[in-house]
Amino acid sequence: MATTSTTLSSWALLVWKALQAHGHDPRAIFNQAGLDPAKLGDGNARYRLVEMSKLWETVINETKDPCFGIEVGTLWTATTFHALGFTWLASHTLKDALMRLVRYSRIVNNSLNASLEVHGTNLHLIMSSGEDERNVHYAARDAGMVAVVVMCRLLCGKNFSPLEIQVTRKRSLCGDRLENFVGTSIIYNCKQNLTVFDHMRAEQRQPTGNSELAKVNDEIAIKYLKTLDRNSVAMQVKSRLIELMPSGQVTEDVVASELNLSLRTMQRKLGEEKTSFSSLYKKIRQDMAGEYIKDSTMSMTEISFLLGFSEQANFSRAYRRWYGTSPSAAREAFVNTDFKI
């Protein structure tokens, strides 16, 4: 059975606030679009994507402003994206934050697929949707693009802009206004939606980074995803891996048992989601190692334990294989990096 595409009600709350700010009656517009305004008071509530598209269309018709999505995107705050917003702001670097956006993007929209790729001196944030393109309103895309830039500026400074933005859609009436806000060129009719960042700039340490706050909100985000992704075995496996990793006894059999699945069934379902137990385990270990090493309160022994390594030497060898340097050298380099203010 196909999963219904939904988005956080807090995203719709920004639409409500923008309508109020411009003297429109948001309740009447929400009712016209068939959305229950009562959900706006629940930070965990969700609207179906088809309902949100109808809301965007109603908003554009009522306000006569084709660029209303840009206005909505500028209102982004940490609470808009649940725990993702807070763990984003607590990230030590923009790259860390982008990795969290990739990891938790489905909190915002459960049909959203995100990835982060290194291309030479640049980082590419690639976004796609499993939803029918016709169900995603152009104003929602504008709002999302602007919100990502707002998020980056809250982390890196008000003058920050990505190097380039590529989108699959055609240029709209808001093209100039969008480019003026994001501060970079937008290329239309591309094969994929991606935002290009300078890799070196994305790895610069931010003074607002806080490992403890990031970890707490990571846990909240993971817990929320578990409730959201009951139909995704891959997400359930990820959650169990994080919980079981410190035991050092993480095997496919153990995780399958935890999920009340046979080993063969779990492997088949992971294959249907185009992944495997081994690749999930390796990726989670590598990502968590990269984050833990930046927390000066955690010893190498503690990190080794949390990642399920029987000996610190095994962790050191794995870290060098993943990142091309020793964990102690990586921590020293991070600690000695000048803040970018």
pLDDT mean for each 10 residues of the chain (341 residues) = 77 96 95 93 89 94 94 94 94 94 90 90 90 77 95 95 94 91 95 95 91 90 81 83 82 91 93 90 88 85 88 92 90 72 46
Q: Are residues 19 and 131 in the same domain?
A: no
Which pair of structure tokens corresponds to residue 127?
A: 């976004």
pTM equals 0.81
Residue 284's identity, in one-letter code, is I
Q: Are residues 87 and 194 in the same domain?
A: yes
Residue 174 · residue 74 · CB < 8 Å: no
Which pair of structure tokens corresponds to residue 185?
A: 């060129």
Q: Are residues 89 and 186 in the same domain?
A: yes
Q: How far apart are CA 254 and CA 240, in angstroms?
A: 10
Question: Within a domain: residue 276?
Answer: yes
Question: Within a domain: residue 225?
Answer: no
Question: Within a domain: residue 218?
Answer: no
Dihedral angle computed from the Cα positions of residues 76, 81, 82 and 87, in that order, rounded to the nearest 10 degrees: -90
Residue 164 DSSP code: E
Residue 15 · residue 55 · CB < 8 Å: yes
10 Å Cβ neighbour count for 94?
25
Count of structural domains, the chain: 3
Q: Are residues 83 and 162 in the same domain?
A: yes
Q: Are residues 83 and 171 in the same domain?
A: yes
Q: Are residues 161 and 247 in the same domain?
A: no
The residues, ordered by sequence, that sit 6+ positions from 71 with a Cβ below 8 Å of its Cβ are 18, 22, 65
Q: Are residues 187 and 122 in the same domain?
A: yes
Please give the residue range of the domain that contains residue 19: 6-69
Q: Are residues 284 and 245 in the same domain?
A: yes
